[in-house]
Structure 1
Amino acid sequence: MATGSKEERWLRETYVDLLIEAGEQNPDIVILEADLMKAAGTIRFKERFPERTINVGIAEANMMSVAAGMSAMGKIPFTHTFTPFTTRRACDQVTLSIAYAGLNVKMMGSDPGVTAELNGGTHMSMEDMAVMRNIPGMVIYEPVDSAQLRKIFPQIVSHYGPVYIRLLRRNAVSIFNEDQEFTLGKGTVLKEGADVTILATGIMVAEAVEAEKELKKEGIDAEIINIHTLKPLDEDLVLKSAKKTKAVVTAENHSVIGALGGAVSEFLSGTFPVPVIRVGVQDHFGEVGFTGFLQEKYGLTKKEIVAAAKQAIQIRREQA
């Protein structure tokens, strides 16, 4: 299942392919842009469906309001901009115009977390999933690679309601096989294990896969689970694994506050309390830098996952 190799195409290209394919099948699909069609790659959708493409300019809050209106008229709008502008900047419109109104808008936020790279701290959202997770009715999905995105995308289109797609724009590490099936809202077990559970999302799945190899060398049998849908959280799978290993690590390209680490900790504390060690950004803003450098700086590598796994196991032993 895990290949660990770089994809040849940027993940955004797969996304746009799927968007065009869905547009061919459903005339109600439209896209709204905040003057970033080149960055998002959606200019190809515009070339195919110019009459279904609206560029509102650098006015993200207005874009969400327009999308809400189009949904109310029976369209299926997809909005596109960088993660902080989908979430922080347009939060009130997303909350009230879309979610509170129960409308069917799909929101793509690109360049999540440290992958914003040279756009720097202003464009580097470490809190976008936490913001969206607090909005009732919101579905939050972050694909790992193209294979997973291809399987899940039609489910996003058919799901009625607001969906936040947190999309890595550049090359992803290929983890899954093309013939594997995935379900929106259900986690995916990459490897079963008995000693510690590692729950990972986005670019941290590849780091978790590498961490498992290092832990195996030390005789630690780790279970690796991809939580691609943060909301709704696959509570059944999380609980089943936590009951088996009694030690949990979460790994995310996001603040440790309010997203995967927060959701898992909140859930398990009320159902089956076990040690949960959160690997992620420790309450910091972002900065300019390449992804590899920033992952090292903010502790988003296999090294931190290995250390967290050992810490969780040690706490479990002390509590036994």
Structure 2
Amino acid sequence: MQPGEMIPTRHAYGEELVALGGDLPNLVVLEADISKSTQTYRFARAFPERFFQMGVAEANMMLVAAGLATTGKIPFVSTYAVFGTMRACEQVRTFIAHTHLNVKIACSHGGVTPGNDGVTHQATEDLGIMRTIPGMTVIMPADYHATRRLVRAAAYYSGPVYLRFTRDPVPVIYTDADEFVIGKGKVVQAGEDVSLVAIGDFVAVALEARTLLAQRGLSAEVLDIHTLKPLDRDLIVASARKTRRVVTLEDHQIQGGLGSAVAEVLGEECPTPMRRIGLRDTFAESGEYRLLLRKYGMDAEATVAAVMELMK
């Protein structure tokens, strides 16, 4: 995949699972009856003896994954983000995280990307929920290459991990040569006037906003914080000290997610004027994804407006 091409990150997840299946004979996949949507059907075809179709029973699926982890397996558990983090929250917290089991919870359809499926399928609180669970690592890759690298890293990472993917296609930003380390963000583009700190598919939104800001004579630094927890505090503080202004971007409620995490860091280490792009204590309605971003002030134009407020 080349920069500029469009592909959902869930497709990269499905492809990397198959590659990992050949490398790790103890890797197993559990699915909640939506393998075409989550792309785990690819693993099912390649390794049917290591694929478990659990049906629409997410809480039980997490318990089975916990049991498999105690036997030395590496379970990847897949469903929609809204179900994996809410319907099964108690099981994730008490039976996976509390015992620090090596379970990877890999969920698709994060944020408002389910679009027309509406609020029942839009996970806009999941990052905040998972971030507050002790010992849980939380990751959302920005594009195809980041997804493949970070899924592989998660498979070799000890302990519970939450991975969040998109339903809709997102632009390819990186190349196959780019490296990713869990807990270490990336400077996608350097800048001097403002730091655009983004997670997941909103890295592309930040890059679009950067182009618009350049037309106004402003230089924006774009950070990809693919790991929400553990957060790369050093990178965020260094960027904030350089630009003196911060805008966070996420497909999530502004409470509890990236915006909150960055505000906590800056409040403790480097007080900086900032704005947060995301849902503002509201549920999104049904609709086409890009139109929803515009309606709720989560697109590149809204980001530019937030930056201009900080420039006053």
TM range (shorter): over 0.9
When the two structures are aligned, how many residues end up with a matched partner? 311
1:177 match: 175
Q: 2:149 matched to 1:151? A: yes
State the AA in 1 paired with 2:127: M
Which of 238, 262, 265 does residue 264 from structure 1 map onto? Answer: 262
Q: For residues 51-87 of structure 1, what are the alpha-carbon distances to aligned partners after superposition, in whole Å with 9 as ceiling and x for unaligned?
A: 1111111110111111001001110000111111111
168-177 or 135-144, larger mean C-alpha shift: 168-177
- Cα deviation for residue 287 of structure 1 reads 2.1
In 2, the alpha carbon distance for the partners of 1:34 and 1:12 equals 15
In 2, the alpha carbon distance for the partners of 1:171 and 1:199 equals 21
1:286 match: 284
Q: Within 5 Å, which residues of 2 pair with 1:1-320?
A: 3=3, 5-7=4-6, 9-314=7-312
In 1, the alpha carbon distance for the partners of 2:241 and 2:8 equals 38
In 2, the alpha carbon distance for the partners of 1:64 and 1:175 equals 33
Secondary structure in structure 2 of the residue aligned to 1:113: coil
Q: For residues 234-276 of structure 1, what are the alpha-carbon distances to aligned partners after superposition, in whole Å with 9 as ceiling and x for unaligned?
A: 0000010111111100000111001000000011111111112
1:318 match: none
State the AA in 2 paired with 1:213: T
- Cα deviation for residue 151 of structure 1 reads 2.1
Do 1:198 and 1:223's aligned partners in 2 also have CA atoms closer than 8 Å?
A: yes
In 2, the alpha carbon distance for the partners of 1:178 and 1:22 equals 16
In 2, the alpha carbon distance for the partners of 1:34 and 1:255 equals 25
- Cα deviation for residue 150 of structure 1 reads 2.2
In 2, the alpha carbon distance for the partners of 1:80 and 1:47 equals 16
Do 1:6 and 1:171's aligned partners in 2 also have CA atoms closer than 8 Å?
A: no
- Cα deviation for residue 170 of structure 1 reads 3.4
In 1, the alpha carbon distance for the partners of 2:190 and 2:169 equals 27
- Cα deviation for residue 103 of structure 1 reads 0.2
Report percent identity of matched pairs: 43
State the AA in 1 paired with 2:272: V
TM-score under structure 1 normalisation?
Answer: 0.94
In 1, the alpha carbon distance for the partners of 2:103 and 2:86 equals 17
- Cα deviation for residue 203 of structure 1 reads 1.8
In 2, the alpha carbon distance for the partners of 1:43 and 1:50 equals 9
- Cα deviation for residue 303 of structure 1 reads 0.7
In 2, the alpha carbon distance for the partners of 1:11 and 1:234 equals 22
In 2, the alpha carbon distance for the partners of 1:114 and 1:234 equals 25
In the alignment, structure 1 segments of 5+ residues that lack a partner are: 315-320
In 1, the alpha carbon distance for the partners of 2:189 and 2:42 equals 38
State the AA in 2 paired with 1:310: M
In 2, the alpha carbon distance for the partners of 1:313 and 1:183 equals 33
TM-score under structure 2 normalisation?
Answer: 0.96
Q: For residues 161-211 of structure 1, what are the alpha-carbon distances to aligned partners after superposition, in whole Å with 9 as ceiling and x for unaligned?
A: 111110113322111122111211111101111111110112211111111
- Cα deviation for residue 115 of structure 1 reads 0.4
- Cα deviation for residue 22 of structure 1 reads 0.7
Q: CA RMSD in A?
A: 1.3
Do 1:144 and 1:228's aligned partners in 2 also have CA atoms closer than 8 Å?
A: yes
State the AA in 2 paired with 1:103: L
226-235 or 146-155, larger mean C-alpha shift: 146-155
In the alignment, structure 2 segments of 5+ residues that lack a partner are: none
State the AA in 2 paired with 1:254: H
In 2, the alpha carbon distance for the partners of 1:287 and 1:218 equals 33
Do 2:188 and 2:222's aligned partners in 1 also have CA atoms closer than 8 Å?
A: yes
Do 2:9 and 2:141's aligned partners in 1 also have CA atoms closer than 8 Å?
A: no
State the AA in 1 paired with 2:90: D
In 2, the alpha carbon distance for the partners of 1:227 and 1:138 equals 16
State the AA in 1 paired with 2:159: G
Secondary structure in structure 1 of the residue aligned to 2:282: coil
